[in-house]
Structure 1
Amino acid sequence: MNSRDDKDRAALPVAAAAREVLAPVAGGPSSALAGLSPGYFGLVMATGIISLAAHMMGLPWIAAALFYLNIGQYAVLWVLYVLRAARYPGRFFGDMIDHLRGPGYFTMVAGTCVLASQFIVLRDDLPAGFVLWLMGVALWLGLMYTVFLALTVKPSKPALDKGINGGWLLAVVATQSVAVSSALVAARIGQPYRLELNFLALSMWLWGGMLYIWMMSLIFYRYTFFRLLPGDLAPPYWINMGAMAISTLAGSLLILNAGDAPFLVSLMPFLKGFTVFYWATGTWWIPMLLLLGVWRYGMQRFPFEYDPLYWGAVFPLGMYAACTFEMSRALDLDFLAGLPQFFLAVAILAWAITFLGLLRAVARNLRSAG
């Protein structure tokens, strides 16, 4: 097979899903709505975590600007998703049982919980944060069992190398986002609910870690024992790192909450050990993912253009900055102080480039409709 054929075939596995988002631009808003990516709440996840990280590191104007922008993005996306479900129910619900697109719906859970965290941390607005937290828990329950039940019982299933990618780890991110928001609510609510919410946060943290082990085993097996083409290396593979980063953040918050929950005090060595374990695992992924990116875009000349899946690569960068900051605070690791600032700067740059790509895609769509 020659190099050109390789590149054509390389685009098929992931681009087949991406085309449903990008190709409808030529058909106007109706077609774009029909092909709206299930993972578009990754935009809310990425914007929200960078806002929170900026707040942690003393950049209130960036945090506030992204907070208000995120409220608007969240509202617009809900309108679009409801319209898509009403007008194109076959495609909306059909995506939930698709092995590559279905896990994208977990961004709805994570985006909702990240916005809840913004209200709690940036505005100290517990009522609004609590309502969004409840929505996140309800979405988690509905989507977790709907998606995985459907993928389990559907009669026709793809081979492992065509049916799994890093996007599956969005289920881990969704679970850990519930853990993070639960811990934040617990720190600001009275007893006895404080104890119960901390226990919920701990349970979700543990379940998310177990889910990562299951899924990462399959993804790593796919990595090393099946041929990997440039088109297979979709941006959600950065969730390999992002899932561990948000697990680190949740663990750090549990450590900080230990004074309000005696059972957390008894688990302190375990909490600290596994929090560092998660952080170290996420850190290991960063050079690997960068090298794979060089291979994909530099050596294989894979085209670099806007894709909503890129929000799944921006989010882990912001989350790594936030989790490293919180871990260094929870464990008194002052020598890590420079790392969060560096990754926050990288995350802001990546967010700006991706957001510019989004604006250009929307402008093209509007021109086509006109």
Structure 2
Amino acid sequence: MLWGMETAVRPEPALHPLREHLAAGLKGLHPAYFALVMATGIVSIVSDLLGLREAATFLFWLNVPAYGVLWALFAARALVFPRALAADLASHQRGPGFFTAVAATCVLGLQLLLLRGDAAAALALWWVGMLLWCACTYAVFVVLAVRDPKPTLGEGINGGWLVAVVATQSVVVLGTRTLVPRFPGSEAVLFFLASLWLCGGMLYVWMISLIFYRYMFFRFSPSDLMPPYWINMGAVAISVVAGTSLAAAAPGSAFLGALLPFVKGLTLMFWATATWWIPMLVLLGIWRHGGPSRIRIAYDPLYWGLVFPLGMYALCTYRLGELFAMPVLPWVARAFATVALAAWLLTALGLTGRILQLVVLAVRSLHAERGAAGPQPGSLERMARRS
């Protein structure tokens, strides 16, 4: 009777700490985590341009499984935590992060083309990126438009919104590399890509106006200045790369040939805008981490959104130097490529530390399970026989 009472009041076993930690991580997986693939891909491409072939190849082979793992994690999240995924889609803070999947797909396609020469795989990824762009554009923006209630502008807008611009221009960049050779002389293809490029430019104008307004006329604390604000610069940097790619296709096209002065001028304006942002963002970063209310630097997946713009600025400066035959610009590109590579290494070190924490937690959980298990079934009988 006493034994029955003891078993009746025995508490429920605690949840496995590692499983609990992993479940919480999967549930809270940020939609913008594909920025890891974006950052790794662009640093790989820039490394190849600068002659660091081994580093470029290493980062490529690192990026391919990372892309697959992220899709597996997002698929698992959609199956296990569909409500959390739906909540992100309707979130002004996290919803635009879904556009990183578009940009990551196109950046990986560009890697496949430039580093491996695999035009077929790159074209396939362009189609995937194009479909994802359509899905994200008309899912995220429509859901946010009809959401009720909505946050205030100060609470809802951030630099992460500009990933929509990055996604749009990444489709243009990969399209000029895959569709134009596939359909030589097709004015329809060039018309479509040029229109998409201009669409991305208008998206930037709309969004950066709201972001700058938020900077100047709303209370701004260090915690508000998240790493994705570097996309302020990265979005126009990739617009430069898209513009130079279109300009390179102009000699064989009557349509683009007529627009070439306009394309070159707008591309230069994008580069000048990206360059203007850099000192501003550096000073704001110093204020965020070195001011009276400073925030300690710690690993955050959003820091991949800082690495990508640095690498993209290096690439766009290099391409602009080729377009205008200015030998000084490739030197600037090399300097920023070094900074981008250093930023990637630091962020990767933070991610490695996070993974090591999970490994330590797994080992501790395993030891705790073995200690709590006690003698195995049948061990008491064997001990009694020996005695």
Task: Using structure 2 for the length normalisation, give the TM-score.
Answer: 0.87
**Residue type at the aligned position of 1:363:** L
- Per mean C-alpha deviation after superposition, the further-off stretch among 224-233 and 359-368 is 359-368
Name the SS for the 2:69 alignment partner. helix
Equivalent in the alignment of 2:27: 34
Equivalent in the alignment of 2:275: 283
Unaligned runs of 5+ residues in structure 1 are 1-23
**Residue type at the aligned position of 1:196:** A
State which of 103, 110, 117 in structure 2 corresponds to 1:117: 110
Name the SS for the 1:267 alignment partner. helix
Structure 1 residues 306 and 26, CA, compared in 2 at 3 Å: closer, same or farther? farther
Unaligned runs of 5+ residues in structure 2 are 1-16, 366-387
**Cα deviation per residue 1:27-58 (whole Å; 9 max; x = unaligned)?**
32111111111100000000001111111222
Query: Aligned partners of 2:25 and 2:329: how far apart in 1?
Result: 44
**Are 2:105 and 2:126, in contact at CA under 8 Å, matched by a contact in 1?**
yes
**Residue type at the aligned position of 1:237:** Y
**Cα deviation per residue 1:276-305 (whole Å; 9 max; x = unaligned)?**
000000000000000000101011321110
CA offset at residue 368 of structure 1? 2.6
Structure 1 residues 152 and 25, CA, compared in 2 at 3 Å: closer, same or farther? farther
Equivalent in the alignment of 2:187: 195
State which of 359, 370, 373 in structure 2 corresponds to 1:366: 359
4+ long deviations beyond 2 Å: 24-27, 194-200, 365-370
**Cα deviation per residue 1:134-186 (whole Å; 9 max; x = unaligned)?**
00000000011000000000111101101010000000000011111111113
Equivalent in the alignment of 2:314: 321
**Are 2:187 and 2:255, in contact at CA under 8 Å, matched by a contact in 1?**
no
CA offset at residue 198 of structure 1? 2.4
CA offset at residue 359 of structure 1? 1.1
**Cα deviation per residue 1:201-237 (whole Å; 9 max; x = unaligned)?**
2111100000000000000000000010000000000
Equivalent in the alignment of 1:211: 203
Q: How does 1:93-132 map to 2 (within 5 A)?
A: 93-132=86-125
The alignment covers a number of residue pairs equal to: 346
Name the SS for the 2:131 alignment partner. helix
Task: Using structure 1 for the length normalisation, give the TM-score.
Answer: 0.91
Query: Aligned partners of 1:62 and 1:204: how far apart in 2?
Result: 32
**Residue type at the aligned position of 1:242:** G
Equivalent in the alignment of 1:153: 146
**Are 1:53 and 1:344, in contact at CA under 8 Å, matched by a contact in 2?**
yes
Identical residues among aligned pairs (%): 49
Query: Aligned partners of 2:143 and 2:163: how far apart in 1?
Result: 17
Query: Aligned partners of 2:18 and 2:358: how far apart in 1?
Result: 5
Compare CA radii of gyration and give the structure with the larger one: 2
State which of 257, 264, 277 in structure 1 corresponds to 2:256: 264
Considering Cα pairs closer than 8 Å and 6+ residues apart, tell me whether 1 or 2 has the greater RCO. Answer: 1
Equivalent in the alignment of 1:236: 228
**Residue type at the aligned position of 2:307:** V
**Residue type at the aligned position of 2:60:** F
Measured on the aligned residues, the alpha-carbon RMSD in Å equals 1.4
CA offset at residue 101 of structure 1? 0.3
State which of 40, 48, 55 in structure 2 corresponds to 1:55: 48
Query: Aligned partners of 1:329 and 1:91: how far apart in 2?
Result: 46
